[in-house]
A and B are shown apart, each in its own frame.
Chain A
Amino acid sequence: MSIQLSFILIAGSIFTFLFMMRLIAKASIRIEDSIFWILFSAVLIVLSAFPQIAFYLSNILKIQSPINLVYLIIIFILIINQFYMTIKISRLIIKQKELVQRIALDNMDRNNEDK
Chain B
Amino acid sequence: MKLLIVIPAYNERENIERVVDNLKANCPQCDYIVVNDGSKDKTRSVCREKGYNLIDLPVNLGLAGAFQTGLRYAKIKDYDAVLQFDADGQHLPQYIQAMVECMETYNSDIVIGSRFVNVKKPKSLRMVGSYLISRAMKLTTGKKISDPTSGMRLFNRKMINEFATDANFAPEPDTISFLLKNGATVREVQVEMRERIAGQSYLNLINAAKYMIKMGLSIVFIQWFRKRKEF
Contacts and interface: CB of A to CB of B under 8 A. Distances in A.
Interface of A: 21-22, 24-32, 34-35, 38, 95, 98-99, 102
Given A25-B227, A95-B59, 18 more contacts: A21-B222, A24-B168, A24-B222, A24-B225, A25-B226, A26-B227, A27-B166, A27-B167, A27-B227, A30-B167, A30-B168, A31-B218, A31-B222, A32-B214, A34-B222, A35-B214, A98-B58, A99-B58
Contacts of A22: 225
A107 B218 CA distance: 41
Interface of A is mostly: helix
B119 interface: no
Contacts of B222: 21, 24, 31, 34, 38
Nearest to A103: B58
A25 B221 CA distance: 13
8 contacts: A24-B226, A27-B168, A30-B168, A34-B222, A35-B213, A35-B214, A35-B217, A38-B222
A38 B225 CA distance: 13
B12 interface: no
B218 A98 contact: no
A31 B227 contact: no
B60 to A, nearest CB: 8
Nearest to A34: B222
A75 B103 CA distance: 52
A32 B174 CA distance: 11
A38 B221 contact: yes
A32 B212 CA distance: 12
Closest 3 CB pairs of A and B: A21-B225, A102-B58, A95-B59
Interface in B214-231: 214, 217-218, 221-222, 225-227
